[in-house]
Structure 1
């Protein structure tokens, strides 16, 4: 079966978050991104979403570099090659180094279109079995500890399965101690976004007393060596995020003992195909994985849900409900969390319909490419 893609559209959107979201990188109030759309000869439409930010805080990629790479390199590759299965897209894109978020934005739309052509859900196309997934919530750095405690209380009452708290030097151990005192039984994790060095090892070891699920990416964004030294000195599991861009990165980190958990983000690793490969390797090695979030709108959120149906996603991910971030999302129905659980949609493809009015409302511009 050949995926006959006749047209590709790149919709450039800007949406405003309900509340500012602060990390050690900075504070976000608006999110710009691309919705990628692929249309076949029968009118079926597959959708993907880019996750890069406007500035290169999280990685070297940005919204504008995504546009450049997709337009000038990746779409011509799709135009000049016949595709029978979405797995082939990862290999076709391989000669283009890095730029994983640009690759994932297009590859995701191919996967969605493929699933719709096969009349199966995206989760089923990926090999997922779960009918529902457990999810947690990610909370940014708040102005005061009391503000943070109020938010945690709200989401604990809503039933989220774990709480992730962003930390940075000066906003870490003491804050988490207060949180743990108020919420002694809640599953907590800390996300450092590469804010520390090995010089902070004695300070970070204080986290071992707080019964955290994990500390995510405490050291440099491109490091696996120092993380191995830190993990050997701590009982709290280290989870790697920014350091893992490929199956090969995951293999090296696991062999070195750099982590006990890996966060798989579709955009960071270059798409769903590589996400599955990393998942399968981690399952073989007994490494827990979970699906991280990048402040996605509904399309990207739907891709995360489908991926999380794979068996080694043993820990709650960051895929909160649409209303956590957006007053209005671009899909119908919006993603809803009930008691910390999202029911996996069963309709073909991502399982949600794109809200055409919302898409038009938030779109700044659209580029079309005939394939």
Structure 2
């Protein structure tokens, strides 16, 4: 087995490890609200999220293709593979750090930041120029703009949908409404889990396809072999079922005091935004940003003090620094890893 083939296998292994960390890091996206409102028991919720991620992985081909060919241009062979591996290690490292501190940051931005940082470092070392290796227009159109727009849309829609729920059920009995919305949350949480799979599992698929193309295993940077769907979906589902309890606690309890109506509204809004982006644009947006902003929007209907803005501020700061820090870590990993080639 030659060095390039070994590097391809190592890249795939790193991508699958990232997928596993993504699963337990972002499992809160789908089910934190349902657990917090007691709509679902924790293990039942995690199992449902795992199934949703597994199924959703097969529906995110547009997002996978954007990741595989729309963000960076890498040299083929061992040089490009070492860049991919460095970027993945940077993303995995940042995922573990933010999980440890219970911060619901974006695994997607960890991945993109890691790969872009490693690509820039590789471009400087190999060619003396990093700009030609990063497709900045793709970064702006597919990452920066959706990153700005989707949380704003999630917040505004969360606020409006919650106002509509209050108005439609203003004469209902609270105990009866809570029971009804707990049942409804089963559907909204399942929709959120499916949307998470369509986005985040698809990103793992895109990285694996990128490694296959750079390593010369396949000639088409957009072709997705069927086995890639299955292994990416499987590790995402396994990671999800393992649970990310630190982040689930932050999402479900520390931002606002969620009730079943609020949980249903937030999940419905977030899953709608995810589906629209995936099917219409193929944009790899952050599921974390989308659901968290929807929770903040829903909570803000209860007045200024309903949202714990200190916690929200810490989360937003973590959002902002994720991409550049993951890029820096990816670049730092590349510096020693380059000598393996």
Quick check: which one's helix share is greater?
Answer: 2
Global fold match (TM > 0.5):
no
Q: TM-score range by the shorter chain?
A: under 0.3
Alignment TM-score, normalising by the size of structure 2: 0.27
Higher relative contact order (CA 8 A, sep 6+): 2
Quick check: which one's strand share is greater?
Answer: 1
